Structure 1
């Protein structure tokens, strides 16, 4: 699988291409709240956003639950995150899931939100996450799974889109086994649907920025054909709302 180099590609457009509306973020925060531990004696929770990118979720997590450290290997993505948000309870640090530069047992929870498929050494990452999260703490993963791939409306227009997208992700049982063997216990695999991101026309404009990993794995011809088909489909009803996107959440508890 070709790795996306976020220091040379996507970083300029990622925030705009993957922006979330207020109602979408509110739904996500509600879903996270149901999976996170209770606040000890009412104190804020300390969180880690691993693979935080341009900080799509990090400030919202901090506002809802307490201080968050965004861990991101890309210099450019961190620069964009810092430029977009100066939240007092957020810091961004260089690091990766396999090497998280925070003290042992210093976090109440960690999230990996569409970043697991970028992790090269998943067993090492599972152990490192177990190191930094306190016993009883939580881990929330939002990812695709090769054997549990959802239907994504726009991807059906791209030749081989579903097949190539599935290859990017590990199967669910493999992820569960990896984390179970590293000090984690599965709590839930919960259905969640991200609310509509807007109209078909708005979504087409964001997709043209090509900030989804799948675009790095389609050929030039497949991308051209896909956008031609997608544009024809969207032209039929550009102002209609797109469907919500299935986004199941896998959660673990630190043993």
Structure 2
């Protein structure tokens, strides 16, 4: 996977390009709630928190949250967008989380696992910071369980290039279980539509998905030309929905 430098390339547009509607956010919070303990408050970690898409909402729903993000510019945007009293943002990554051992009830990694460079180290570090029985909510795609968003079909090598970013499900499970973790659940979540096809096209033009860094200039030009032609046929049609994986693991 070609690495994305969020400090220079995406921090300005990321919040807009990857924004969640209230309905979408509510669906994800309910999915997280279904796999977390009932007690409140819960001490949470948002690992790879980016511009804080989930962090304030997690704090509002479950309890205090620490957002851990390696990109200084992404953290700056997150802090500017929301100053929730139960949220703090710290520099760090999944391989090096700057909190005490056993201090969190759960950790969320939403759309960030594919960026982790040293995954065995991250598995150990996540186990260190969670309490015994703590939950890891891994919202990522898997090469063999790919959600196939509707717009990918218009790009050369679209599905192939996007799927190649991610590990197969069995490989992720083996990595964690070999280190003493247990699989709590695997499910899919149908996120509500992000809006119209036209609105989705405008957000895709910001290129805030890792997928776009995997294509060359000709592939990008061809893909957007095809996508624009397809959307022009009915730009006000709702953007199609699809099922997205959620793997929950328990620290042993």
TM class, shorter-chain normalised? over 0.9
Count of residue pairs brought into register by the alignment = 252
CA distance in 2, matches of 1:190, 1:32: 11
Residue 142 of structure 1 corresponds to 139
Contact 1:50 1:111 in 2 (8 A): yes
Q: Pick from 83, 92, 97 the counterpart of residue 95 of structure 1.
A: 92
Residue 22 of structure 2 corresponds to 22
Does structure 1 residue 112 correspond to structure 2 residue 109? yes
CA drift of 1:53 comes to: 0.4
**Structure 1 consecutive aligned stretches of length 4 or more whose deviation exceeds 3 Å:** none
Does structure 1 residue 57 correspond to structure 2 residue 54? yes
Instruction: Flag structure 1 segments of 5+ consecutive residues without an equivalent.
Output: none
Q: Cα deviations across residues 178-224 of structure 1 (Å, max 9, x unaligned)?
A: 11122310011112111100000110000000000010011101110
Contact 1:127 1:183 in 2 (8 A): no
Residue 151 of structure 1 corresponds to 148
CA distance in 2, matches of 1:197, 1:64: 22
CA drift of 1:164 comes to: 0.8
Contact 1:147 1:171 in 2 (8 A): yes
TM-score by length of 2: 0.98
Does structure 1 residue 67 correspond to structure 2 residue 68? no
CA distance in 1, matches of 2:123, 2:143: 19
CA drift of 1:138 comes to: 0.5
CA RMSD of aligned residues (A): 0.8
Instruction: Flag structure 2 segments of 5+ consecutive residues without an equivalent.
Output: none
Does structure 1 residue 3 correspond to structure 2 residue 3? yes
Residue 80 of structure 1 corresponds to 77
Q: Cα deviations across residues 115-134 of structure 1 (Å, max 9, x unaligned)?
A: 00000111110110000000
CA distance in 1, matches of 2:242, 2:70: 27
Query: For 1:174-213, what aligned pairs fall within 5 Å after superposition?
Result: 174-213=171-210
Does structure 1 residue 216 correspond to structure 2 residue 207? no
Contact 1:6 1:76 in 2 (8 A): yes
TM-score by length of 1: 0.97
CA distance in 2, matches of 1:234, 1:2: 28
